[in-house]
Structure 1
Amino acid sequence: MSHWKPVTTIFRVKKSVSEGAIRPSDLLAQFKQIEAGTRTHVRAAELLENTVELIREMVYTNTMTQPNPDDVEDLLQMTGCSSELHTPSCQTDCMSERYRSITGECNNR
């Protein structure tokens, strides 16, 4: 009986739109919402970008020295971006050298 649920939902949405309870733009806005995981990654990337820009300015003005690799790794860990920076493990056989992958992560090595 669970296959009827989507049909019922579609009917309810159509009825709500036709009655003016919700506008089509409200429905469209709901579909454009970002998933929680994506939102978390975006916030982490923005935090990292802002921090790197501050460090770059401080190094440029000689307020601080350039960070060492351990400091950079700590920064990546604290912002949550270290898991995003991984090197893909690409095959090296003749087929993978000749053809592109579907995801594109091993192309143009």
Structure 2
Amino acid sequence: GARDGRIMRRVILPNALPPLIVSATLTVGVAILFEAGLSFLGLGDPNTMSWGLMIGANRVYILDAWWPVTFPGLAIFLSVLAISLVGDGLNDAFNPKLRQR
């Protein structure tokens, strides 16, 4: 007997929000990885500095100097991991099934 707006606010939105948040954060992580991969291959904008471009430009020196490749790779890894963990934390915070415990 409730109106459509009330049903959407009280039932549908709380149950749809956690999967949307997780999907959005995973999409941001994938976008970072795609951009770094394309820049590594030389398909990105050469005027814009990115982690993939840093790795791609320094890959010829990897046997002599490991740090120009390792630190941008770690930055990519830590950024994607942090974004994924934030998404997981938001899922735990907004999931109505976990709130009942």
TM bucket (normalised to shorter chain) is: 0.3 to 0.5
RCO comparison, higher one (Cα < 8 Å, 6+): 2
More helix by share: 2
| Higher alpha-carbon Rg | 1
Using structure 2 for the length normalisation, give the TM-score. 0.40
